[in-house]
Amino acid sequence: MSRLRYFLRRLVLSIPVLYFGATLTFVIFRFGPIDPAAAIVGETATEASQAEYLRVREQLGLEQPVFEHYRKFMVDFFTFDLGQSWVLAPGTDVVDLLVIYGPRTMWIVLWAVLIPIFVGIPLGVYAGLHSNTFTDYLISMFGIIWRAMPNFWLAIILLAVLSQSDALLGFDWNSFLADTSVTGTPDLSNLTSVDGFIAATKKVLPAAVVLGSASMGSELRIARTAVLETINSSYVETAKANGVSRRSLVWKHILRNALVPLVPTITNEAFLLIGGSVIVEVVFGINGLGWLFFQSAQNGDLPLVTALVFVFIVVVVLMNIIQDLLYLLIDPRVGYGGR
């Protein structure tokens, strides 16, 4: 089973990546330009605050020898003991903050991944199957425009249009389908009920559309190219010459091969979404991880920042593993011939 071995090898290889990422985070924390303790205590002019400053340094481990601090730091991270916030929400465990803020971001990112997959890719596939027709040109142009619009700009425009939807679009977005305002944090407590699901989805939809806009454009373009490439390959011609019906040609022979270049595009775009959600969450006033990250960085809450950076590293590595797994499922050639 060389394919299983391939996957296990990828799994093992992700450990050094995690380790290196965590080490880099430690270096920035300990030797970076911001003194974490100073940011926490603030003024250090008085005798009392000086004592407080030293106490905080002691607690953060900054007074320990570097290697001992490093060892403790790494053990904590890898046992997922992420410490506490010191400035933004003093005394709150980072894990607790993740539980509060994480799901909101996950919810946006989920939609921001799904919208391109279910809108961009079908459009691209259609364009590829009907290449050089008017529809193809229309779809391709739409893809380029969509890809070219910057997130921050699109977010503001969408915000402006939707908050005056009555005058501009002829219907009221706020009362459309469910009662929600354009900005604010989605209520995720009711996802199992139909109304709650619709309300929560609608709430993050503008943010998700903005976040997914770039991915939608690129996934559309790549789907089109991939389909075009496959459609002209000799195995499609051979299948056709052997009497395979057009439906089976498209669904069985073309699509699965076209997925091969699409998978890395989708997963790579998904990394970007995590970073991109910072801007979008701030514009739409959604209190998610991106917002938390932004605030903690602004306030010099370094313990929280480092913990979040580590979480992001874990997420990215996980995505990579998912990508490898998808590769294995789609393309039997992957892992073949590797030692």
Partner 1 sequence: MSEEPLLSVENLRTTFTTDQEQIRAVDGVSFSVPSRQTLGVVGESGSGKSVTARSILGLVDAPGEVHPDSEIRYHDPTFVQQIARKYPDQVQWDDDGDGFVTVEAGSGEGDSVTVERGSVDLVAAPDTVVRSVRGSEIAMVFQDALSSLNPVYTVGNQIRELLGIHQGVTGSEATERAAELLESVGIPDPKRRLDEYPHQFSGGMQQRAVIALALACDPSVLLCDEPTTALDVTIQAQILELLERLQRERGLSIVFITHDMGVIAQVADSVAVMYAGEIVERASVSRLFDDPKHPYARGLLQSIPGLTGDVDRLPTIDGSVPTPNEPATYCRYAPRCPKAFEECETIHPEHVSVGEGDHTAACLLYPESAGLAERLDRHHDTEETHE
Encoded tokens for 229? 């490439």
SS3 65: coil
Sole residue written with tokens 């354009």: 182
Contact string 251-290 vs partner 1 (x = CB under 8 A): -xx--xx--x------------------------------
Q: Output 171 or 251, the one with its CB closest to partner 1.
A: 251
The whole-angstrom separation of Cα 225 and Cα 229 is 6
Cα–Cα distance measured from residue 200 to residue 311, given in angstroms and rounded to the nearest whole number: 25
Instruction: Give the Cα separation of 112 and 208 in Å (integer).
Output: 4
Burial class (CB in 10 A: 0-12, 13-18, 19+), 46: exposed
Q: At what angle do helices 134-148 and 194-231 cross, to 10 degrees?
A: 120
Please state the separation of Cα 199 from the chain's center in Å: 22
130 binds partner 1 (CB under 8 A): no
Q: Which is nearer to partner 1, 72 or 333 (CB)?
A: 333
The per-residue DSSP string of 238-291 comes to: HHHHTT--HHHIIIIIIHHHHHHHHHHHHHHHHHHHHHHHHHHHHHHT--SHHH
User: Given the structure tokens 């402006």, which residue do they identify?
Assistant: 160
Task: Tell whether residue 239 is a contact of partner 1 (CB under 8 A).
Answer: yes
Residue nearer to partner 1 on the CB measure, 67 or 247: 247
Other CB atoms within a 10 A radius of the CB of residue 101 amount to 21
For partner 1, the closer CB: 72 or 130: 130
User: Which residues, including other chains, have CB under 8 Å from residue 218's CB and lie 6 or more apart?
Assistant: 147, 265, 269
- Nearer Cβ to partner 1 (55/240): 240
Closer of 79 and 242 to partner 1 (Cβ): 242
* Three-class DSSP labels, 171-188: CCHHHCCCCCCCCCCCCC
Interface with partner 1 (CB under 8 A), residue from 248, 251, 318, 338: 248
Residues 200-229 touching partner 1, rule: CB under 8 A, are: none
Tell me the CA end-to-end span of the chain in Å, nearest whole number.
11
133 makes contact with partner 1 (CB under 8 A): no
Length of the chain in terms of residues written: 339
193 interacts with partner 1 by CB under 8 A: no
Residues 309-338, mask of contacts with partner 1 (x by CB under 8 A): ---------------------xxxx--x--
**176, 240, 275, 338: which one contacts partner 1 (CB under 8 A)?**
240
Report if residue 5 touches partner 1, rule: CB under 8 A: no
CB of 337 to partner 1, least distance (A): 9
247 binds partner 1 (CB under 8 A): no
Region from 43-51, 134-142, 193-201, 238-246 binding partner 1, contact rule CB under 8 A: 238-246
In the complex with partner 1, the residue whose CB is nearer, 97 or 263, is 263
Q: Minimum distance from CB of 29 to partner 1 (Å)?
A: 46
Q: Applying CB under 8 A, which of residues 58, 245, 251, 298 lies at the interface with partner 1?
A: 245
DSSP 84: B
Q: Which CB sits closer to partner 1, 80 or 235?
A: 235
List residues near partner 1 by CB under 8 A: 233-235, 237-245, 248, 252-253, 256-257, 260, 330-333, 336
